[in-house]
Amino acid sequence: MKQTAFVLASLLACAATGAGAQTVPAPVQPDEVFSPKDIGHALSAPTPDAGKTAPSAANAPPDDGQWKMPAKNFAATRFSSLNELTPANVKQLQPLLTFSLNANKGQEAAPIVADNTMYVVTSYPNYVYALDLTKEGAPLKWKFAPKPVPASQGVACCDVVNRGGTVDDGKYIFNTLDGQTIALDTKTGKPIWRTLLGNINLGETLTMAPLVAKGHVYVGDSGGEMGVRGWLAALDESTGKLQWKAYSTGPDAEVLIGAEYKAPYPMEAGKDLGVSTWPAQSWKIGGGTVWGWVNYDADLDEILYGTANPGPWNATQRPGDNKWTSGIFARDPASGTARWFYQFTPHDEHDYDGINEQILLDMPFGGKMHKVLVHLDRNGYVYVIDRTNGRVLSADPYGPVNTSRGVDLQTGRLILNPAKETKLGEEIHNICPTASGSKDWNPSSFSPQTGLLYIPHENMCMDWIDMKVNYIAGTPFVGANVHMKPGPGGNRGELTAWDPVRRRPAWVVKENFPIWSGTVVTAGDLVFYGTMDGWFKALNAHTGEALWKYKMDSGVIGQPISYRGPDGHQYIAVLSGVGGWAGAVVSGPIDPRDGSAALGMVSAVSDLPKYTTAGGTLYVFTLPH
């Protein structure tokens, strides 16, 4: 064979250079980041005696043992009032059943339990399974295959994930990667309606979990790395018909900003800021997608959601504050009109999306009770915001930060550190937090028993160089070469139990890899979460003490839940299946020798393929009984 010589030479060369992973870069030194006490600010000193921190009854009704939406309730506490499992008996926790999802990309969804049936949606191709919990082994009641267009995989920035569906009024409602929102009949698995909202040829996909409230289905787009224009849409829950669409950029008429809008700070006030804070026409391709969590606040009858990063990542191509990206909107749930907006990161230069979870609490602050939302932003701060007006009460770092020196609580503005601003053609080193943030999309939980938030997050930093990028519809619009690295200490993940009243961590558990799973906390004072290298763990909610762990078939990036089975016992369910942005080096055809791969994530986690492989399995755990 005449080609043998060449092939042999290339193989030997491969062996010589080593086909294995790059070395993970050295951690950033602790003196490169600011001290929390120097950059954390509050409008007043903690007043923990002024009342007990808890969600309102309207936002977190008494627990019926089901788990009908990913966040558990409108307050998004992810708190289960079930207490059969305790620190004393959790060592006996064991798997009751597993179920293969037949999909091997990252599984980010929460299993949903309603009427003794469990519903699971997978990563692309977005299969939906309904399992009968009343029968031994939870046999399949039905399966639905939505058949998303395969090409949609090519415009999904960070693995082809799905963050879950929700059950309401006899429907299981979920999104597909290629832009559909679908309502299935929970009894039959047949579609009641399907609505196409996204256009993959503009780079739009759907990965978020829709929120259902008051007869509306709220859906937002993904594609912030593709030059799409962000929006939130409201659909009629019974018909799927589009009711309104509120864009995150552009003229007020399309952002649905009108007379009802009240700016919390002067920086959020002005006509058509969604146009004037951009170079000409750039708002049309400016991002601000809505791929994270939407809350309905039953106390104030409003919806709350964050907007993602502005595009492109190269901020030198879009001077200005880039409204209304990297912030949070409060809107009227029926009309969609904006009530207030607050921008966490004006003119974002580091991919700090504002889409992370909000937890709605009634909390003592300044000597009296306030209706607040707690938001864990990518930019590194725990924001406690008065949800009646959008004003920040406190903002404290919960991970390493050197891109900013805190939030100016008079103006509301993030105080940037010029040394870590990104530049065209010049590499800026040791930027903290990294592009995926002090934490990404994976949601925290809150226990009214401990008063603590359980924040699953990252400890990573990065090097970044801006590069000129052209807009070509349907292709990436990024313009940055990024290499991520571990933060101070070298542990790439942390689970922080945060006291929002006292503005400090109660305890911190370190993890080797970034934590990309959600957390759930139970009335038995247990916190559950998964790791990217494949452990599912239980901690004592008061102390962080490790009590139990189980090795899964693949890394865990899903959202664990706790529910009551038909037999009255407590169950814990979670999906395994590593992937997502942080795990794409395992789930995607990615070469760990390129540190800039997967938008620079691979540099920091190039060793993950040594620990786990791709998978996709539902696990259900319970005590022996």
Residues forming the active site: 225, 309, 351
Instruction: Decide if residue 475 touches another protein (CB under 8 A).
Output: yes
- Interface region with another protein, contact rule CB under 8 A, candidates 93-101, 129-137, 438-446, 464-472: 464-472
Instruction: Decide if residue 598 touches another protein (CB under 8 A).
Output: yes
Instruction: Decide if residue 152 touches another protein (CB under 8 A).
Output: yes
By C-alpha distance, which of 75, 537, 572, 41 is closest to 293?
75
Instruction: Decide if residue 9 touches another protein (CB under 8 A).
Output: yes
User: Nearest approach, Cβ of 560 to another protein (angstroms)?
Assistant: 28
Q: Which is nearer to another protein, 234 or 598 (CB)?
A: 598
Instruction: Decide if residue 469 touches another protein (CB under 8 A).
Output: yes
DSSP class of 72: S
CA 74 to CA 295: how far, in whole Å?
6
User: Nearest approach, Cβ of 485 to another protein (angstroms)?
Assistant: 10
User: Nearest approach, Cβ of 495 to another protein (angstroms)?
Assistant: 27
Instruction: Decide if residue 204 touches another protein (CB under 8 A).
Output: no
DSSP class of 109: P
Q: Is 460:604 a contact under the CB 8 Å cutoff? A: yes
Q: Is 612:534 a contact under the CB 8 Å cutoff? A: yes
Q: Which is nearer to another protein, 38 or 591 (CB)?
A: 591
The type of residue at 40 is G
DSSP class of 285: G
Instruction: Decide if residue 153 touches another protein (CB under 8 A).
Output: yes
CA 223 to CA 202: how far, in whole Å?
9
Q: Which is nearer to another protein, 101 or 469 (CB)?
A: 469
Choosing from 63, 108, 225, 237, the residue that interacts with another protein (CB under 8 A) is 225
Tokens of residue 365, six digits: 């602050």
Tokens of residue 544, six digits: 């962080």
Residues in contact with another protein, counted by CB under 8 A, come to a total of: 52
Instruction: Decide if residue 26 touches another protein (CB under 8 A).
Output: no
DSSP 334-382: TT--EEEEEESSTT-SS---S-S-EEEEEEEETTEEEEEEEEE-TTSEE
Instruction: Decide if residue 425 touches another protein (CB under 8 A).
Output: no
Q: Between β-strands 117-121 and 128-132, what pairing exists: parallel, antiparallel or unpaired?
A: antiparallel
Instruction: Decide if residue 186 touches another protein (CB under 8 A).
Output: no
Instruction: Decide if residue 7 touches another protein (CB under 8 A).
Output: yes
Q: Is 474:157 a contact under the CB 8 Å cutoff? A: no
How many other CB atoms sit within 10 Å of the CB of residue 624?
8
Binding mask 121-150 for another protein (x = CB under 8 A): -----------------------------x
DSSP class of 54: B
Tokens of residue 421, six digits: 């601003």
- Interface region with another protein, contact rule CB under 8 A, candidates 79-87, 505-513, 551-559, 601-609: 601-609
C-alpha angle 156/513/614, rounded to 5°? Answer: 50
Tokens of residue 596, six digits: 């800039």
- Interface region with another protein, contact rule CB under 8 A, candidates 315-323, 397-405, 519-527, 588-596: 588-596
Instruction: Decide if residue 169 touches another protein (CB under 8 A).
Output: no
| Cβ-count burial 135-168 (b if 16+ within 10 Å, e if not) | eeebeebbebebebeeebbebbbbbbbbbbbbbb
Choosing from 183, 211, 235, 590, the residue that interacts with another protein (CB under 8 A) is 590
Q: Which helix (H) or strand (E) holds 454?
A: strand 452-458
Q: Which is nearer to another protein, 539 or 602 (CB)?
A: 602
Strand partners, 428: 464
Q: Which is nearer to another protein, 95 or 150 (CB)?
A: 150
3-state secondary structure of 27: coil
Cα of first residue to Cα of last residue in the chain, in angstroms, is 65
Q: Which is nearer to another protein, 17 or 281 (CB)?
A: 17
Instruction: Decide if residue 325 touches another protein (CB under 8 A).
Output: no
User: Nearest approach, Cβ of 261 to another protein (angstroms)?
Assistant: 35
Q: Which is nearer to another protein, 27 or 406 (CB)?
A: 27
Q: Which is nearer to another protein, 22 or 116 (CB)?
A: 22
**Residues belonging to the chain:** 625
CA 187 to CA 184: how far, in whole Å?
9
Tokens of residue 197, six digits: 């909202």
User: Nearest approach, Cβ of 106 to another protein (angstroms)?
Assistant: 13
User: Nearest approach, Cβ of 256 to another protein (angstroms)?
Assistant: 31
Instruction: Decide if residue 589 touches another protein (CB under 8 A).
Output: yes
DSSP 224-242: TTTTPBPEEEEEETTT--E
- Interface region with another protein, contact rule CB under 8 A, candidates 65-73, 284-292, 350-358, 600-608: 600-608
Instruction: Decide if residue 426 touches another protein (CB under 8 A).
Output: no
Choosing from 273, 432, 599, 620, the residue that interacts with another protein (CB under 8 A) is 599
- Interface region with another protein, contact rule CB under 8 A, candidates 295-303, 379-387, 514-522, 594-602: 594-602
Instruction: Decide if residue 190 touches another protein (CB under 8 A).
Output: no
User: Nearest approach, Cβ of 479 to another protein (angstroms)?
Assistant: 9
User: Nearest approach, Cβ of 455 to another protein (angstroms)?
Assistant: 27
Burial class (CB in 10 A: 0-12, 13-18, 19+), 443: buried
Binding mask 479-508 for another protein (x = CB under 8 A): --x-x-------------------------
Choosing from 592, 607, 620, 621, the residue that interacts with another protein (CB under 8 A) is 592
Strand partners, 510: 494
The dihedral built from the CA positions of residue 586, 589, 593 and 598, taken in this order, carries a sign that is negative
Choosing from 474, 486, 505, 615, the residue that interacts with another protein (CB under 8 A) is 474
Choosing from 73, 181, 403, 603, the residue that interacts with another protein (CB under 8 A) is 603
Q: Is residue 293 reached through a cis peptide bond, with omega within 30 degrees of 0 on the bond before it?
A: no
Choosing from 143, 591, 610, 625, the residue that interacts with another protein (CB under 8 A) is 591
Q: How far is CA 414 from CA 40, 326, 373, 383, 428, in A?
A: 11, 12, 18, 12, 20
Instruction: Decide if residue 467 touches another protein (CB under 8 A).
Output: yes
3-state secondary structure of 41: strand
Instruction: Decide if residue 55 touches another protein (CB under 8 A).
Output: no
Which residues of this chain interact with another protein, rule CB under 8 A? 1-11, 13-14, 17, 19, 22, 150-157, 225, 467, 469-470, 472, 474-478, 481, 483, 584, 588-599, 602-603, 606
